[in-house]
Amino acid sequence: QKEVEQDPGPLSVPEGAIVSLNCTYSNSAFQYFMWYRQYSRKGPELLMYTYSSGNKEDGRFTAQVDKSSKYISLFIRDSQPSDSATYLCAMSAIDNAGNMLTFGGGTRLMVKP
């Protein structure tokens, strides 16, 4: 079993829909949670970063962390065709080896006009 699980999709939604992307994890030591967006043939770019549990909002994007359930979510409101990309969750814990990021496999999102 992978340390971070993410449904690979693809997830296809109409323009304007609310999108929910999720990751589950097994390592209870994870404290930092991030979402990266990766367009085809590009490098991942940071979308959202949260520490510990709670919600964080940035424009159309909301990140939620539920550490008790080991579950994180990214919500996209009023989705646009330009949101079509692969979304990667990433998380880390500070330990003796430093806080290495562990990535989920990514969910491919397609927003249709």
Partner 1 sequence: DSGVTQTPKHLITATGQRVTLRCSPRSGDLSVYWYQQSLDQGLQFLIQYYNGEERAKGNILERFSAQQFPDLHSELNLSSLELGDSALYFCASSDSDPISGANVLTFGAGSRLTVL
Q: Lay out the site mask for partner 1 across 6-25 (x = CB under 8 A, - = otherwise).
A: --------------------
- In terms of CB distance, is 18 or 46 closer to partner 1? 46
Helices (H) and strands (E) in the chain, counts: 0, 11
What is the rounded distance in angstroms from the CA atom of residue 86 to the CA atom of residue 95?
A: 29
CB of 63 to partner 1, least distance (A): 14
Write down how long the chain is: 113
- In terms of CB distance, is 14 or 41 closer to partner 1? 41
Residue 37: C-alpha distances to residues 20, 26, 45, 63 (Å): 14, 22, 5, 13
Q: Which residues of the chain form contacts with partner 1 (CB under 8 A)? A: 32, 34, 36, 41-46, 49, 51, 88, 92, 94, 97-106
